[in-house]
Structure 1
Amino acid sequence: MIVRYQHPYAAFRQFDRTFNREFERLVRRGFGRAAAQPSLRADVYTEGPDAVITAAVPGIAPEDVTVTLEGRRLSVTAERREREAAEGDRYLVRGLTAGTFRREFTVPEGTEAAQVSAEVADGLLTVRVANAVKPAPQAQAIEVKGAQPVIEAETAEARDGDE
């Protein structure tokens, strides 16, 4: 007899992938391609006291990237333009999606625009928020005082006297 192990959640993972693909297809069909706006893929991490966002923007020029700060919301928008094909040229495969890509991040309260810098190099957008990471508070020991327990108990002599 052959025993085959299948992870208990494998069916759910497959369902999730299929559902997402079908949902995007239906949205595009019903509302057009612009309705399903693709999101920028990004990593968010810390370097010392700075928060750093690195987003993939392959084939997008620095002038087509916009970074704005409004309150606690940091918005990154990038636009990849359609390549203009010369007469007689045709695509064999289209894998680079043209359009506008957008992603929003929440920054700490009180972040100023002067703390934010952005740079595009080698297809990556790096946004640095200076001094965004506050040091974790140190645990402080609190003295715990003890009190003598109050015990109210009748003594045998007191009971004998009541009788």
Structure 2
Amino acid sequence: MIVRYQHPLQAFRQLDREFDRLVRLGFGRGAVRNSPEADVYTEGSDLVFTVAAPGVGTEDVTVTLEGRRLSIEAERRRRESSEGDRYLHRGLAAGRLSRVFTVPEGVEPSQVSAELADGLLTVRVADAVRPAPEARRIPVREAGPAIEAEAAE
């Protein structure tokens, strides 16, 4: 008897591949896009986006600001294989990475900078976080009765 090991998540992986195949058939290859993982946080008054972009070079990354929409796009290229190379498994997908964020009102392109290091793209929006307005107490005064009536005898 032959005992064959199957990974516990194999059925879900197959379902994911089948879903992608059906979407490509129905909507074309461009419909399947990768949305990379990202962290969004503040450092002082700066707003920082750190996006996972493994295998991407600086020449393959585009960061654009249009109104309040910050778009990050990258192209991950397939590794060129040399003669004699033989892949046993290809798990690093080539293709487009795309992620869109909304930034606060009034952000200018001059406030945005981007760096790529160790497979992480860090986009910094300088002075984007405004301090929350301080709550101010409004005095409430007492007013007289709104309706004055005379008593009938």
- On whether the aligned pair clears a TM of 0.5, the verdict is yes
Partner of residue 108, structure 2:
112
Return the offset for 1:63.
Answer: 1.5
Give the 5 Å matches for 1:125-144: 125-144=121-140
Matched, 1:60 2:56: yes
Partner of residue 98, structure 1:
94
Give the 5 Å matches for 1:52-91: 52-91=48-87
Partner of residue 40, structure 2:
44
* SS of equivalent to 1:26: helix
The C-alpha deviation readout for 1:9-44, integer Å capped at 9, x for no partner, is: xxxxxxxx89x8364342024344432111121111
Quote the RMSD (CA, aligned, Å).
Answer: 2.4
Structure 2: 5+ residue stretches without partners: 1-11
Partner of residue 23, structure 2:
27
TM-score normalised over the length of structure 2: 0.78
Tell me which protein shows more helix as a share of its residues. Answer: 1
TM-score normalised over the length of structure 1: 0.74
* SS of equivalent to 2:128: coil
The C-alpha deviation readout for 1:42-65, integer Å capped at 9, x for no partner, is: 111111111100000111111111
Return the offset for 1:147.
Answer: 4.2
Which has more radius of gyration? Answer: 1
Return the offset for 1:91.
Answer: 1.5
CA distance in 1, matches of 2:84, 2:31: 31
Q: Once superposed, which parts of structure 1, at least 4 consecutive aligned residues long, lie more than 4 Å away? A: 147-154
The C-alpha deviation readout for 1:115-158, integer Å capped at 9, x for no partner, is: 0000001110000000111111111111122346689797xxx9
CA distance in 2, matches of 1:152, 1:70: 62
User: Please, which of 120, 123, 137 is the counterpart of residue 124 of structure 1?
Assistant: 120
* SS of equivalent to 1:127: strand
